[in-house]
Structure 1
């Protein structure tokens, strides 16, 4: 996989880049600001994923995200941040982001998130989406990606992973990952509990 990583903090940029190269066998191209990142998108060969620091020079928050999505509509674009409030994660997804990655995330989890987004999925940590003041009832639908809703629908119908995978034309391992993520987001003990929570919240 080929990744564009844009961050104005050299230590953060170098650390993430080195890990993705060594553990993820990724080709990583780096940029130190938003203008440089956009130039790389225009001039180079396509990327499998773009990671943008939310607060770097020239980014202007979600404006930079929207501009990047327009520039590379076929490429997943995700935000990196160490300071942005939780609500920014959902705003970013609504603006077309493939995900939101806190800089405090463990290295192995970061790599898994990157692979998830490169595969075409949307990634936002459950700890970010479910801030303490939020209740799941009204926010459940907004907190889930389109595919997560489809998997949850399958769970509510009592379907096993294999059948859900067949229905969605995905691999069973991908469905297992979605189920795990759903359980975290819904604070569910298992798949059955997740389905119960969804039904209680009026999920169809």
Structure 2
């Protein structure tokens, strides 16, 4: 079922720009907006799946808003969005139970990848390098890939290009790129060859030797 996102930011222009990006995510359905935490909580009992929450707002800040938002939307994942990637701010976000931390300077692909991680139940915080890229917190746990991501991964491991994967699965190339980014992030790799090795090692794909890429 497509996810319901809630964007909370006091700057209408930023919300509009963010909305244009997140609506491209294949897993996103409806998008609601609010200018403050109080305004957002008034939308309950809306069944929100993911909240993108500005950390600095007039009145109640994003950090202080985590608790009331948890009460209003108990099953929602909450990712803080900030103009700063200061370690103290990220540390505070983790301590207060945020599910992720996304810099406002992040690229569209990074934002879409962070959404994929959050909707999959994986924490997403910036890595030390490069600053501003969304990535899962390092973990030895088995990656949580959706059924569609497994489909993309299998074709990727067969050496197919994004264009061919899109054709085979009836998806757009942009959607395939989003899935590939999310797959790479969850597997902790940055190339197709290492993704293949990692996927085989985890038993995520089972391909005949003749179909594997070199």
Equivalent residues of 2:117, 2:186 under 8 A apart: no
Aligned residue number for residue 75 of structure 2: 74
Using a 3 Å threshold, how does the CA distance of structure 1 residues 87 and 21 change in structure 2: closer, same or farther?
A: same
Q: Mean alpha-carbon deviation: is it higher for 59-68 or for 97-106?
A: 59-68
Q: What does the per-residue CA deviation read over 1:104-129, in whole Å, with 9 as the maximum and x for residues that have no partner?
A: 00012101111210111100110389
Aligned residue number for residue 18 of structure 2: 16
SS state of the match for residue 30, structure 1? strand
Q: Which runs of 5+ in 2 are unaligned?
A: 154-181, 191-196, 199-214
Aligned residue number for residue 104 of structure 2: 103
Using a 3 Å threshold, how does the CA distance of structure 1 residues 169 and 87 change in structure 2: closer, same or farther?
A: same
Q: Which runs of 5+ in 1 are unaligned?
A: 131-143, 152-163, 184-189, 192-204
Aligned residues: 155
Aligned residue number for residue 169 of structure 2: none
Aligned residue number for residue 188 of structure 2: 180
Deviation at 1:21, TM superposition (A): 1.7
Q: What does the per-residue CA deviation read over 1:139-191, in whole Å, with 9 as the maximum and x for residues that have no partner?
A: xxxxx84xx4334xxxxxxxxxxxx56xx89877677533427x8xxxxxx98
Distance in 2 between residues matched to 1:169 and 1:128, nearest whole Å: 24
Give every structure 1 segment of 4 or more consecutive aligned residues whose post-TM-superposition deviation is greater than 6 Å. Answer: 168-172
Distance in 1 between residues matched to 2:95 and 2:71, nearest whole Å: 14
Distance in 1 between residues matched to 2:69 and 2:129, nearest whole Å: 23
- Flag the structure with higher strand content: 2
- Flag the structure with higher helix content: 1
User: CA-atom RMSD, angstroms?
Assistant: 3.3
SS state of the match for residue 149, structure 1? coil
TM-score, normalised by the number of residues in structure 1: 0.63
Q: What does the per-residue CA deviation read over 1:33-53, in whole Å, with 9 as the maximum and x for residues that have no partner?
A: 11111111x242x11101111
Which among 1, 16, 30 is matched to residue 27 of structure 1? 30
Deviation at 1:18, TM superposition (A): 1.7
Distance in 1 between residues matched to 2:129 and 2:87, nearest whole Å: 5
SS state of the match for residue 67, structure 1? helix
Aligned residue number for residue 37 of structure 1: 40
Alignment of 1:80-91 (within 5 A): 80-83=81-84, 85-91=86-92
TM-score, normalised by the number of residues in structure 2: 0.60
